[in-house]
Amino acid sequence: MQTAQADLRVVPPDTGTGRRPCNEFDLRAIEADIDHMGHVNNAVYLSWVQDVVVKHWAGLASDVELATTIWVAIKHEITYRRPAFLGDALSATVAATGFQGAKAMFDTVIRRGDQIVAEIRSVWCSIDTATRRPKRVAQEVVRRFSNASLGVA
């Protein structure tokens, strides 16, 4: 199943730090995303969450962190509030909600305008690219994710 790609959304404008906000993304349902009931298939939401959490990480991580760390999803819990349909312009907002050892918890909310379409809680594991083993999330990374979730530069 082919899914729409998540594109970085620049809202609000640059805060003067030289970095764009990296926790809001535009999503658009395409024909391949639609199931037999005429709305976006549940599996597409998983793909969108994978895309936006990874892009959120890429927007906050240094080049060294990007080269030495990958994230693997270990749990997703999706609450569907409303169906999404072909051509819908959707947005996804990602927030880190906690860290424990090598794990990070994220909440993602998908909206159509001001309506919540789905809410996703997910748990991810930080993996060292060299050893392919879990590694503790560094305090600096925790601080950066936490500040981004709070809207702090």
For the stretch 68-127, pLDDT in tens is 999 999 999 999 999 999 989 999 999 999 999 999 999 999 999 999 999 999 999 999
Q: How confident is the model at residue 10 (pLDDT cuts 50, 70, 90)?
A: very low
Q: State what percent of residues in the chain have pLDDT above 90.
A: 65
- Residue-wise pLDDT for 15-26, tens only, equals 445 444 468 899
Number of H helices, E strands in the chain: 3, 6
Peptide bond into 12 cis (omega under 30): yes
Higher per-residue confidence, 6 vs 73: 73
pLDDT at 150: 54
Q: How many residues does the chain have?
A: 153
At residue 121, the 3 state secondary structure works out as strand
Indicate the pairing of strand 103-112 with strand 24-28.
Answer: unpaired
Indicate the pairing of strand 89-100 with strand 103-112.
Answer: antiparallel
Kindly report the pTM of this predicted structure: 0.82
